[in-house]
Chains A and B, each alone.
Chain A
Amino acid sequence: QVQLQESGPGQVKPSETLSLTCAVSGYSISSGYYWGWIRQPPGKGLEWIGSMYHSGSTYYNPSLKSRVTISVDTSKNQFSLKLNSVTAADTAVYYCARDRGGGCSDCWGQGTLVTVSS
């Protein structure tokens, strides 16, 4: 079955770049689907960050678009998130997920907490 696992620093300093990677097992990214990121600030709801089609098309949340980059590395079967110029408001659990289309995330990673703090 498909499994996703996030990895990356648990703490990032304000104004720096948050970088996370999602390793996918049980399915080849190059075979299809969208691959994306969703975050959840502590005690709050879900916020969609963006997704990337396996062939390279990207879609971003308009409120984050200027700071976000999602990329896919099919050779390693993983995809990545970069969010620059972070502030405390970017502190959240970050989930990677497979999007079957229409914004429907059918497989999720376990999530990783990233804290923005000096």
Chain B
Amino acid sequence: QSALTQPASVSGSPGQSITISCTGTSSDVGGYNYVSWYQQHPGKAPKLMIYDVSDRPSGVSNRFSGSKSGNTASLTISGLQAEDEADYYCGSYTSSSTPHVVFGGGTKLTVL
């Protein structure tokens, strides 16, 4: 059972927009602006897509955006493309017990 809650799957058609949610608590997502999002294709290492809630690393498409409201963070992908089909994980810093990092269970994005 993961510390952060994500939907198991989402889907969308090419060109559409989708949003993946990541729900935590005031000890993690809600308490700090340290939420990250990772994309993972089968058999590959995760790739950082969003950090510090809404910042994009150099080289990541501006079709990817992040936000947060209360204890829930969100990743939005606009203009869906076939290559966006992958697993997406959120991660957050947490101060619960001792400082560490927690992940969501992952969301499988299917591009129809």
Interface residues of A (CB under 8 A from B): 38, 45-48, 50-51, 59-62, 65, 95, 100, 102-106, 108-111
Cα of A109 to Cα of B47 in the assembled complex, Å: 10
Contact, CB under 8 Å: B48 / A106: yes
Contact, CB under 8 Å: A102 / B32: yes
Range of interface residues on B (Cβ < 8 Å):
20 to 34
Interface residues of B (CB under 8 A from A): 2, 32-34, 36, 38, 45-48, 51-52, 57, 89, 91-93, 97-106
Inside 8 A of A45's CB, which chain B residues have their CB? 2, 89, 103-106
Contact, CB under 8 Å: B46 / A61: no
Inside 8 A of B51's CB, which chain A residues have their CB? 100, 102, 104, 106
> What are 15 pairs between A and B in contact, CB < 8 Å?
A38-B46, A45-B89, A46-B46, A46-B89, A48-B91, A59-B98, A60-B100, A62-B100, A100-B51, A102-B33, A102-B93, A103-B100, A104-B52, A105-B46, A110-B45
